[in-house]
Amino acid sequence: MEDPESAGAPAAPGLSSLLPPREFLRSRKGQLLLAESVLSFIIFICYIASLAASFMMAPLLEFLLALFLFFAYASKLNEKFKGVYWPLADFLRCVTAAIIYFAISIAAVSKYSDGASKAAGVFGFAATIVFAIDFYITFNDLVTFLKQGSSDSPEGRKTEGGWNSCLLN
């Protein structure tokens, strides 16, 4: 009898259907989002175990946002919901995360003397670099989009009037 998986049949639905596709995991965006999620979770755990527990909310929120975007991009949710400009939302998330991680890492390293706070600070500096790389790459996507928008004809961009026409002209 022939094995159904070797015959090219699709895999049975189960836990493997929740995993992102391999091509997304190999992409630069997938690796950055995975690194952001892992680093944010490690920093969250470090802050829980440290004297600087008041800083634990920022890594928790960044972990959840990075995890959401990871699965949104992996499941191509960004292609299904065209009303949201995903690179702009991702850019704003990365900029704020880099600034927040940099600030709380400086505070954790300089103000607290326990090992968990120092570890959270060091991982926070690493997360700052990862988020900065991500917002640099996303910024390039935004610039490309804005250049495309400015090369369109003015008639195609105008609306009936009101607030949108003020923003577009």
Domain ranges of the chain: 25-149
Contact 118, 112 (CB under 8 A): yes
For position 15, what pLDDT does the model report?
A: 63
For position 114, what pLDDT does the model report?
A: 92
Degrees (nearest 5) of the Cα angle 105, 133, 88? 100
For position 26, what pLDDT does the model report?
A: 83
Spans in the chain with pLDDT lower than 70: 1-19, 149-169
Q: How far apart are CA 81 and CA 76, in angstroms?
A: 9
This prediction's pTM: 0.74
CA-based nearest residue to 81, from 94, 89, 145, 34: 89
- The values of phi and psi at residue 89, to 5°, are -65, -40
